[in-house]
């Protein structure tokens, strides 16, 4: 009897021990509200009928992890399309596309700003609060890195001649998978 109790205790301990040290980096969803804003239709520039161009991606290698296969970080899970920042804008807008079969929220990206010839201007990490349904695209906005309104994205026409063009690349650093009951 004593050996059965000890062996049950050891088996339970061996099963629970690996679970205690695992962290997946996936946090439960805190808020159901979406923080996606839209531009005023009066100042909106006419849209083109073509598909928005993708923003160049810089791949971040994933660290090995022992979590369930569905929740392993995939740097190709989210695409950034149609980046827009005019010189007069205080916000940068872009489209995020969810390439997974899961609902995603709170996407963290590193935005790298460069001159058209490739020299780095600035970089920053931004958490984008959004609700991305599986295989869908959503327009998102973040505060611009350019507080002095001197820069414009190369695909956005300049408002005046003295502006400086830039292009942007991104790295997907993190996203949260929404677990629904």
**For residue 144, what is the DSSP state?**
-
What 77-80 contacts at long range (C-beta under 8 Å, 24+ apart), as own/partner pairs, is 77/104, 77/172, 77/175, 78/104, 78/107, 78/109, 78/132, 78/172, 78/175, 79/54, 79/55, 80/54, 80/55, 80/109, 80/170
Residue 166, both tokens: 């830039």
Q: Are 67 and 24 in contact (CB under 8 A)?
A: yes
Residue 32's pLDDT is 41
Residue 49's pLDDT is 53
Stretch 1-28: mean pLDDT = 47
pLDDT tens digits, one per residue of 153-168: 888 876 666 788 899 9
Residue 45's pLDDT is 47
Q: What domains are there in the chain, each with its CATH number?
A: 53-62+70-181 (2.60.40)
The answer, yes or no, to whether residue 1 has pLDDT greater than 90, is: no
CA dihedral 99, 105, 109, 113 (to 10 degrees): 90
Stretch 83-94: mean pLDDT = 90
171 Cβ neighbours under 8 A, 6+ residues apart: 57, 58, 59, 60, 75, 109, 110, 112
pLDDT tens digits, one per residue of 26-79: 444 444 443 443 444 444 444 445 666 777 777 766 555 545 555 688 888 999
Q: Are strands 164-177 and 104-114 parallel, antiparallel or unpaired?
A: antiparallel
Alpha helices, H only, the chain = 2-21
pLDDT tens digits, one per residue of 100-150: 999 998 999 999 999 999 999 999 999 999 999 999 999 999 999 988 888
State how far the Cα of 129 lies from the Cα of 95, in Å rounded to an integer: 13
Q: Are 176 and 24 in contact (CB under 8 A)?
A: no
Q: Are 138 and 131 in contact (CB under 8 A)?
A: yes
State how far the Cα of 44 lies from the Cα of 61, in Å rounded to an integer: 38
Residue 125's pLDDT is 95
Residue 31, both tokens: 């808020």
């Amino acid at each position: 009897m004593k050996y059965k109790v000890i062996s049950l205790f050891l088996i339970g301990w061996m099963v629970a021990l690996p679970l205690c040290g695992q962290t997946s980096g996936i946090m439960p969803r805190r808020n159901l509200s979406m923080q996606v804003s839209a531009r005023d239709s009066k100042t909106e520039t006419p849209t083109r009928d073509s598909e928005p161009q993708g923003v160049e991606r810089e791949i971040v290698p994933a660290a090995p992890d022992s979590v369930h296969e569905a929740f392993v970080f995939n740097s190709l899970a989210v695409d950034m399309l149609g980046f827009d920042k005019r010189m007069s804008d205080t916000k940068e807008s872009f489209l995020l596309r969810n390439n997974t079969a899961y609902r995603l929220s709170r996407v963290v990206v590193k935005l790298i700003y460069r001159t058209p010839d490739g020299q780095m201007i600035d970089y920053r990490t931004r958490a984008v609060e959004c609700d991305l349904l599986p295989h869908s695209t959503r327009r998102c906005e973040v505060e611009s890195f350019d507080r002095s309104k001197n820069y414009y994205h190369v695909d956005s026409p300049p408002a005046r001649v003295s502006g400086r063009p830039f292009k942007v690349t991104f790295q997907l650093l993190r996203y949260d998978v929404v677990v629904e009951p």
